[in-house]
Amino acid sequence: MNTSKLTLAFTVLVMFLTACGKKQVQTDLYFGMNTPGGAVTEEQWKDFSENVIAKYFPIGSTEWVGRGRYKHPETKETIVESTKVVTLVGDKGAERDKAVQAVVDEYRRRFKLQAVFRVETEVDATLIVGN
């Protein structure tokens, strides 16, 4: 990842951190890119990100590419696939949970997938500005 993209990703993430030292929740969503019909293309992902994730989290999010590995529950085969990880940081609450669930549900519906992996962590988030 080049420096300008990394800087932009970091900037978007810290936009969430608007309260000094306030307990917030960090949600990491792991979106597998393998689908029953092949794989989610970059164009499809961009559309999903811009029109679904940005709709529910207009303040911003951070995305990066990963490589996931898991054991298929039925076949016991080890599956390795490309993964998009989206990090969201903000206040904990029912409205936020509904927004996260809406993003997950739309991804599963759109790409005919069974699951999205979700990790929730309470964090002390501080926006540091100035010199």
Where are the domains positioned within the chain? 3-125
Q: One digit per residue, pLDDT tens: the chain, 131 residues?
A: 555 554 445 444 555 444 455 689 999 999 999 999 899 999 999 999 999 999 999 998 999 999 999 898 899 999 999 999 999 999 999 999 999 999 999 999 999 998 999 999 999 888 788 87
C-alpha angle 103-104-110 in degrees, rounded to nearest 5? 85
Quote the CA–CA distance of 37 and 113 in Å, as a whole number: 10
- Residue 8: predicted pLDDT: 47
CATH code for 3-125? 3.30.70.120
At 72 the pLDDT is: 86
**In the prediction, which pLDDT does 126 show?**
81
Question: How far apart are alpha carbons 28 and 70 in whole angstroms?
Answer: 17
pLDDT in the model for residue 16: 47
Structure confidence at residue 9 (pLDDT): 52
